[in-house]
Structure 1
Amino acid sequence: MTAKRIVLIGGPSTGKTTLLNALKAEGFPCLDEVSREVIKAAQQEGIEQLFLTEPLLFSDKLLERRIQQYLDAGALDAAHVFIDRGIPDVTAYMDFIGQQYPERFSKACKAYKYDHIFLLPLWKDIHTTDKERYESFEEAHQIQNELVKTYESYGYTPIEVPKTSVAERVSFILKNLER
């Protein structure tokens, strides 16, 4: 059985990780956001924000890891695998900052297709920043718009998850998997 790949998208600090952790607690296989790994590795090398200083290098590393996640998800023996962000997030962020990128980025978005995309809306009450998540709420809003535009350009229709409790969000997603 090939697992269906379900991606959670949304601007910074919209509750993706919290929701993913709740899905894990329900026993679903989940793949964590990989950008924090790339950021932390760069910080250990003395580069505070690799995306800001070398966005193409950062995005290259991210693309490689997201493609691997896609492949790993398909190899799991499960009906559904939940993933925190997908391959098109890479191009959306590059477009957000106005950075050119090689055609292989777009080709990857077309080659590796997901089964469902769930969009977590911006939610000012839960928006926070930290060492890896530095975007203001206004920047998060711009990123959110870019994410929606990018996913739609690759043929997806993101399903917006309501701003409710974590348990209700999990229930909403599970009810909408066959939509």
Structure 2
Amino acid sequence: MRTSPSPANRFFALTGGPGAGKTTLIRHLAALGHAVAPESARAVIRAQGGRPPPSRFCELILARDVETYRAALGLTFFDRGVVDAWATFGAYGLAPSPAAETAVRTLRYHPRAFIAPPWKAIYVQDAERDQTWDEAVATYEACAEAYLAQGYELVELPRADVAARAAFVLEAVA
């Protein structure tokens, strides 16, 4: 009897600092017909009418990421994910909650995660992306550390237009 592959083998995380083109890439992949999972932090900020206090913000992001993970089926590209939520606790100087520790250990993505490097030419701030350029670079570094700490291999996205980035990702997952 043939067994079906685990979700982790068909779930691909895209990580990196803010303003590096992850969401643009996710939207492009969706337009090409691929299943995608949106970033949770922006959704939380919109739903809360602003950035909530750090511990609440971390828990809300984690809850959305866990829900999104559990709802996904087949090949899915995630705009950030459970590992990023786990890392967000540390970014705020907080110990990850027991729920975050369990999630990062049990809800696994494909062993290769894509990371968008800081790219000053496309970085912009807005009402939801309030980090400075230096904070964006620090976030990128924290994301890289988190994924490596959780045993993922990082594949850096090229600094290229969205179509080229999508082609790079799709070739890598084929």
TM normalised by structure 2 equals 0.90
Shift of 1:137: 0.7
Match of 1:93 among 61, 70, 88: 88
* The 10-residue stretch of structure 1 (125-134 or 101-110) with the greater mean CA deviation from structure 2: 101-110
Distance, in Å, in 1 between the alignment partners of 2:126 and 2:108 is: 31
RMSD, aligned CA: 1.4
Question: The residue matched to 2:173 in structure 1 has which SS?
Answer: coil
Question: The residue matched to 1:36 in structure 2 has which SS?
Answer: helix
Distance, in Å, in 2 between the alignment partners of 1:108 and 1:34 is: 15
The answer on whether the counterparts of 2:44 and 2:51 sit within 8 Å (CA) in structure 1 is: no
Listed one character per residue, the Cα deviations across residues 8-28 of structure 1 (whole Å, up to 9, x for unaligned) are 111001101110111011111
AA matched with 2:37: L
Shift of 1:155: 0.5
- Give aligned-pair identity as a percent: 32
Listed one character per residue, the Cα deviations across residues 54-110 of structure 1 (whole Å, up to 9, x for unaligned) are 11111111111101111111xx2x4x1111101011122221221233233122101
Alignment of structure 1 residues 16-95 onto 2, 5 Å: 16-43=22-49, 48-50=50-52, 54-73=53-72, 76=73, 78=74, 80-95=75-90
Does structure 1 residue 163 correspond to structure 2 residue 159?
Answer: yes
Question: The residue matched to 1:110 in structure 2 has which SS?
Answer: helix
Match of 1:141 among 115, 137, 154: 137
* Aligned counterpart, 2:147: 151
* Aligned counterpart, 2:119: 123
* The 10-residue stretch of structure 1 (129-138 or 100-109) with the greater mean CA deviation from structure 2: 100-109
TM normalised by structure 1 equals 0.88
Question: The residue matched to 1:125 in structure 2 has which SS?
Answer: coil
Question: The residue matched to 1:35 in structure 2 has which SS?
Answer: helix
Match of 1:7 among 7, 13, 20: 13
